[in-house]
Amino acid sequence: MSFFKKIWRIAPHVLMWGALSLVIVLQNDLNDWGFEDYYMFGGFVGAIAAASYINLYLLIPHYLFRKRYMQFVLLFFAVVGVTAGIITLWVSKFDHINSVSRFVVLIINVIFFLLITSGGRLLVEYLEKIVKLKEIENKQLKDELSLLKSQVHPHFLFNTLNNLYGLITNNETQKASETTLKLADLMRYLLESSKAERVSLKKEIQFLEDYLGLEKIRLSSNADVKFETVGANRDVFVHPLLFVPLVENAFKHGLLTGADECFAHFSLAVQGNDLFFEARNSVCESLDTHSRSGTGLENLRKRLQLIYPDTHQLQTEQTNTYFKATLHLQV
């Protein structure tokens, strides 16, 4: 333990007993005090301090915290009685006040000091426990969030590799090489963003635009894909990869279902501290309600609950012909 840490641990004790001594001293006329008075006072404070530390570092951790309540109570009052008796004998050397009445008063004083110091110890233990629980909770949340975030990567990579395979088998080498370069840029962003807690909204938008460009490769020419942004030129930071599950969901259940007039429209708008992202896509009538929102949206809901617990809304609307998801964040 470093020197400063030792000072930090000792300082509260010095301050506590210094303040106690000062309060007692100020209640007396120091002009009438002689050597014996200071000697008697030192013995009094020493006995109280010894009883307090026996209670704090022996009785409380070994009996109270271990729920041995009866033994704790018996030993507590035994310490009180012994301490009051020692102080009574000590003070009786300097005056001739009735020892019985003094003993009773001292029992009350010792109980008072032990209860005060015990309250301080219990408060410190409670605060330390809260801090530890918070640290454990934060670690669990970070681990869960990392797991949910990592599930985006394989899904996205699998889809893009499928696109690339289709281009290669169709001998579209030029498109395949362009796709490979775009895929490399996107994978680089995925790796960088996975290490960051927040990313620039502009980079996230660029990622979505590149992602849409890759997805369009395997679509027919009559597929209607749009992505519009409003107010996104501001310096806004968000948690990474929040919007791609909505985009993936739209492609999976909208543009790849074989519908005659398939479409996927995306919009992102920033208004003050509010961010709105909407994904609206066509669906195939044969798809049931459950299949229109898969694990991607479920993972997104869990992530949002972890990182935007009270500052987000994710709403979905579905019919036989379209599915719409709207995400509202306070950024």
Q: What percent of the chain has pLDDT over 70?
A: 74
Q: Which amino acid belongs to residue 45? A: V
CB 79 within 8 A of CB 64: no
- Cα gap 103→62, rounded to integer Å: 28
Tell me the pLDDT tens digit for each residue of 153-168. Answer: 566 677 677 777 777 8
Long-range CB contacts (within 8 A, 24+) of 173-180:
175/217, 179/214, 179/217
Residue 281's nearest CA partner among 299, 302, 267 is 267
Token pair listed for 209: 């635009």
- Angstrom distance (rounded) from CA 198 to CA 148: 15
Of 326, 321, 309, 315, nearest in space to 137 by CA = 309
Residues of the chain with CATH 3.30.565.10: 152-330
Q: CB within 8 A of 90, min separation 6: which ones?
A: 40, 43, 44, 47
Average pLDDT, the chain: 79
Topology (CATH) of 152-330 = Heat Shock Protein 90 (3.30.565)
144 has a pLDDT exceeding 80: no
Helices within 93-200 (DSSP H only)? 99-150, 152-169, 173-194
245-299: per-residue pLDDT in tens? 898 888 877 665 555 578 899 999 999 889 999 999 888 655 454 444 556 788 8
Q: Is the pLDDT of residue 327 over 90?
A: yes
